[in-house]
A = this chain, B = another copy of it.
Amino acid sequence: MAMIVLFGVFIRYDEESNPHWIEFRKSHNISSDIENDFYFRYPSFQDVHVMIFVGFGFLMTFLKRYSFGAVGFNFLIAAFGIQWALLMQGWFHSLDYTDGKIKIGVESLINADFCVAGCLIAYGAVLGKVSPVQLLVLTLFGVTLFAVEEYIILSLIHARDAGGSMVIHTFGGYYGLAISWMLYRPNLNQSSRLQGSVYHSDVFAMIGTLFLWMFWPSFNSAITDHGDGQHRAAINTYLALASTVLTTVAISSFFQKHGKLDMVHIQNSTLAGGVAVGTAAEFMLMPYGSLIVEFCCGIISTLGYIYLTPFMEKHLKIQDTCGIHNLHAMPEIIGGIVGAITAAAASESVYGREGLINTFDFEGAFKNMVPTRQGGHQAAGICVAICFGVGGGIIVGCILRLPIWGDPADDNCFDDEPYWEVRDTCLKAQRNFF
């Protein structure tokens, strides 16, 4: 309801999705309809959309009795989040001061999807331990924090972050971990019978993994510059992802007993590549640069699953259901650092004069910026993202600890039963068996 009023007051079409486009085109000397931003971005937008709803949703179906919650709540959060994000991001980024309206186009939709991705990452850490109402609260605050943090990092600090390494993944990762830490459940082992996968739930999760993996080049290139920017971001991400798969398989096989592979690593660590190359994807990272970054990332992420997640649960009291620390938070720190270094190392000889200005957007208030300083700003961006993530997570975690949200009991975690009609009498009987 409130959403309708807010949309009524604030949201309008931008000039490219408006019937006045014909006049706009003529007055701006644009020769063809195909130069509408829609055709530059829409295929990537749809890929991102698939990542958000199918990718994240199915990735979390690995638990044996929480598939409805994984896909369904993911759907709920994302659908709620994108509406709220259009408003919040609009106020900060695309408010038209002449008439006080937010003008939306396809880029706004992509940004809203990005914003929601941050909250879905956070959902990964608390998967199975919270109620849908808690998730909506998490999303409401998450999107709000995201919009502020994004405004600070991208507009005030002027960091570049094409694939949202800092803005999305670092923030989302630490936000989720902080909330998980606040909601620590000492007696979670009462649900341990349900905290694992069965054969076909792992196959379902692979659907999520693969769609995330395949479309990550679109994610990182969706809002980069037209032309070479999108092209380069896609290539870098493609290479980075391919490289991570090999590293993950090698490490997983090496550290498991009998050299067996672990589906958890394949499902998650293979994606670390896309995360880590996020910031630098549009820079001249060079193909071998992508490979090096991902080689490191694959190792760290897989080892994280083997050693760090149990350690965090035991000693830091952080119960991270999906291991988002290994998949998003750590690779992102790496990604942010790589982005800072690559930016600092940029030069006119590599980018060309116009290319440099274009890629780093050294225009307007920032026309005296130089690459080395840009590197510093990138680094500052990482810090802001971490602060917002941890700080915001702790505050929101406090709110979520209030006993009014109907969260599940310790022995009911990771179970669809409390929130869904499960008609499946046969499996109901089995539940006591597991």
Contacts and interface: CB of A to CB of B under 8 A. Distances in A.
A289 to B, nearest CB: 8
Contact of A109 (B54, B238, B262): B238
A352 B27 CA distance: 14
B206 A23 contact: no
Contacts of A235: 13, 17, 104-106, 109
Q: What is the count of identical protomers in the complex?
A: 3
Contact of A34 (B34, B419, B421): B34
Given A210-B57, A227-B38, A354 B31 contact: no
Contacts of A61: 203
A72 B263 contact: yes
Interface string A287-316: 110011001000000000000000000000
A92 interface: no
Contacts of A419: 260-261
A362 interface: no
Contacts of A207: 54, 58, 207
Interface string A42-74: 111011011001100110010001011001100
A358 interface: yes
Contact of A426 (B17, B198, B424): B198
A246 interface: yes
A51 to B, nearest CB: 10
Given A19-B284, A39-B34, A355-B19, A200 B197 contact: no
Contact of A228 (B21, B71, B433): B21
B287 A76 contact: no
A352 B23 contact: yes
B288 A75 contact: no
Contact of A8 (B263, B288, B426): B288
A241 interface: yes
A187 B235 CA distance: 46
B228 A17 contact: yes
A228 B104 CA distance: 12
A186 interface: no
Interface in A403-434: 418-424, 426-427, 430, 433-434
A288 B246 contact: no
B234 A38 contact: yes
Given A33-B226, A352-B19, A82 B242 contact: yes
